[in-house]
Amino acid sequence: MADPNKRLPFNVPGEFFVDRTCIDCDVCRQLAPQTFDQRGEFSYVRAQPRAAEQRRRAWRALLCCPTGSIGALGRNRARTVMQDFPLHLGERVYYCGFNSPKSYGGHSYFIRHPQGNWLIDSPKYLPYLVKRFEEWGGIRTIFLTHRDDVADAHLYARRFHSQRLIHRADRCAQPDAEVLIEGRDPVVLTSDFVVIPTPGHTPGHAVLLYKNRFLFSGDHLWWSRTHQRLSASPDVCWYSWSEQTASMIRLRDVRFEWVLPGHGQWARRPVEVMRRELAGLVDRMRMGRRVSG
């Protein structure tokens, strides 16, 4: 739990606060942007929530903070919003919540599919989530975008006898993974699921396209809430920025309307907007212009 004695001095006074253990993972700003903001290397409370929906969002952020860096004075009401998770995003796609510090607070997602459910990257392994996944029919497949965000995937795989997919170049994170993706060509798994290798952030990074609508983009691509456009950054590219640029170029003809990243803002925009924004991002990457934000 967050410590009031360690609260950051730039929190506005009131019920909610962030303490110095914050790792600036962006989870709270994603879930409650009206309450939390960024300052330096920390998130902080810029405005205390007033309306009921704002308060609910703030409690969701407190619950999902991977490092327990968000606190609230008075009665803890986090359990009242636990039932919101996994949080419905669109169609049968959900944000798991309960981000893991093992993946630096990376997002994970769940797809309820009639031919077997999918987990994309991994949240913390918690009895609550295990129960919810059981109620929804378990987990048939766990897709891991890259080695950084596997978190507790092996525990979920063991519990549900799931098949884990990861690119061979990043198999060091899950050496006993059941299925290894090879090469750089797209892999059509079913009519609904296509894996597209996107090396750059790591050698074995890959994204998952679901129904030509949802792009689970790992750390390859996200929506910038600052600039309101698709974005990537050399500052968080651990392998090769030139490879990541080449991978982004190969995505230009991919049709999607949702970008669901491991870190950063998820967003839904019309297909033609996403295609235009991706083309603009590729141009900025090729010309060496600032692309992050």
**Alpha carbons 70 and 85: distance in angstroms, whole number:** 18
The domain total for the chain is 2
Confidence class for position 79, pLDDT limits 50, 70, 90: confident
Clarify whether residues 140 and 125 are in a common domain. Answer: yes
Q: Are 104 and 238 in contact (CB under 8 A)?
A: no
CATH code assigned at 73 = 3.30.70.20
Beta-strand pair 222-224/193-197? unpaired
Amino acid at 24: D
pLDDT of residue 76: 81
Nearest to 72 by CA among 10, 18, 15, 5: 15
Using the predicted structure, report yes or no on whether residue 289 has a pLDDT greater than 70. no
Contacts with 49 (C-beta within 8 Å, 6 or more apart), sequence order: 16, 32, 34, 35, 55, 57, 58
In order of 19, 141, 228, 253, the CA distances from 222 in angstroms are 27, 23, 10, 17
Task: Read off the pLDDT of residues 168-213 as tens digits, 9 standing for 90 and up.
Answer: 999 999 999 999 999 999 999 999 999 999 999 999 999 999 999 9
Task: Read off the pLDDT of residues 204-255 as tens digits, 9 standing for 90 and up.
Answer: 999 999 999 999 999 999 999 889 999 999 999 999 999 999 999 999 999 9
Long-range pairs for 4-7 at CB < 8 Å and ≥24 separation? 4/71, 4/73, 7/71
pLDDT of residue 78: 83
Task: Read off the pLDDT of residues 24-37 as tens digits, 9 standing for 90 and up.
Answer: 999 999 999 999 99
Q: What's the mean pLDDT when you consider all of the chain?
A: 95
Beta strands in 64-134 (DSSP E): 70-72, 87-90, 93-95, 109-111, 118-120
pLDDT of residue 292: 54
Task: Read off the pLDDT of residues 251-281 as tens digits, 9 standing for 90 and up.
Answer: 999 999 999 999 999 999 999 999 999 999 9
Which residues form the domain of 104? 85-287
Q: Is residue 211 part of a domain?
A: yes
CATH code assigned at 260 = 3.60.15.10
Clarify whether residues 141 and 51 are in a common domain. Answer: no
